[in-house]
Structures are given as C-alpha cells and as structure tokens.
Amino acid sequence: MALTEYNRKRDFDDTPEPEGRSNTDNVELIFVVQRHDARQLHFDFRLELEGVFKSWAVPKGPSMNPADKRLAVMVEDHPLDYADFEGEIPEGNYGAGSVEIWDHGTWSPDAKFKNPSEAIRKGLIEFTLHGKILKGEFALVELKNSTTKNGWLLIKGRDRYAVDEKYNADEVRVSAR
C-alpha cells in the first residue's frame, strides 16, 4: 500500500530503478542517503520503517554541525530495494538524473519512541545513525504551520560526532561503500 505512489510515478520499462515491493526481512533497520543530481541537486535521506523507506529530499544534504537545520521535504515511500540503487534515470522519467550512494548503514530510533511510525506521523523523531559518514544522534522535526508542504528539518544532535565547522555534504568524499 505504502508504495502505490512510488510505483505510480515510474515506468519500470524505462527507468533502471527497482519496482516497489515492501520487505520486512531485515533484523537491523537500514538507512541510505543518495546524492541525486536531478533538475536540482539534492540528497535523498531514507530510513527503513515497516518494510519500506520513509524518504526525505534534503536540498543541501545532511550536516554533522548541530547549528545547521537542513530542510528535508518528505516524499513518497521507497522500496528497500532502493538501498543499492545507483545509476542514471533517463530523461523524461520522474527524477531524471544521476543517483549515487553517499552514505549507508543502520539506524535506531531513540528508546523513548516506542512506536517510530506514530512518531513520524506526529512530526518528531530522534534517532541514531551508524553510517560511514553520518554517525550519532539526529532529529527530524516537522515544520508545522509552514508554507513548505511536507517540510521537515534534519538536525544533528550534540554528541561526540558533531562538528563546529561549516559542513558541505557535497564536499564529503569519503567512500560510502
């Protein structure tokens, strides 16, 4: 059900992206961040939950600096098969442009969020990322009463992984594989 919009937006005869089916086999929840050089460069931030990826498009990309509040626009759920997807989405298709994996790993919701799906529905979730680039505490906070439709903020928590300097996701060249 959650992938209806994902499938509707795509022609799988024409895009190399995976077809949407949900999958609840993983023991640990995974996350992936894809650099998507489409009409406008952005980073797609995806958290596994209930067999799909909850997904946000982050125009400036994630930051390890807690002072940055990065706009994250919630988009349609994606299939977990998307975790491995890299490549070119041909012209004329939804999201045409190139996709590369920027970071990936596992994540866990903060223990106080007993029901992470409900937390996301209510517009606040705090969690820990175990990635190659993104590590430690983060929060996603929905912008209520905002003109930005589906707008959220992705914010790094203050912990030992946080940095003070200016952070440009596009300059981070650590291999995420």
- Is position 70 an interface residue for Mn ion (rule: CB under 5 A)? no
CA–CA dist 30, 46 (Å, integer): 9
Interface with Mn ion by CB under 5 A: which range of 12-20, 30-38, 130-138, 145-153? 30-38
Kindly tell me which residue out of 44, 68, 103, 137 binds Mn ion, with binding defined by CB under 5 A: 44
107-112 contacts, C-beta under 8 A, 24 or more apart: 107/29, 107/30, 107/31, 107/47, 107/48, 108/28, 108/29, 110/137
Q: Which is nearer to Mn ion, 36 or 135 (CB)?
A: 36
Q: Which is nearer to Mn ion, 72 or 134 (CB)?
A: 72
We find the least distance from the C-beta atom of residue 42 to Mn ion, in angstroms, to be 6
- Is position 36 an interface residue for Mn ion (rule: CB under 5 A)? yes
Burial class (CB in 10 A: 0-12, 13-18, 19+), 162: middle
Read out DSSP for 37-72? ESSSEEEEEEEEETTEEEEEEETT---S-TT-EEEE
Interface with Mn ion by CB under 5 A: which range of 32-40, 78-86, 107-115, 151-159? 32-40
Q: Which residue has the tokens 């999958």?
A: 23
Q: Which is nearer to Mn ion, 34 or 128 (CB)?
A: 34
- Is position 17 an interface residue for Mn ion (rule: CB under 5 A)? no
Read out DSSP for 154-173? EEE-SSTT---S---GGG--
Q: Is 110 helix (H, G, I), strand (E, B) or coil?
A: coil
Q: Which is nearer to Mn ion, 35 or 135 (CB)?
A: 35
Q: Which is nearer to Mn ion, 36 or 70 (CB)?
A: 36
Interface with Mn ion by CB under 5 A: which range of 29-37, 86-94, 110-118, 125-133? 29-37
Residues in the site for Mn ion, rule: CB under 5 A?
36, 44
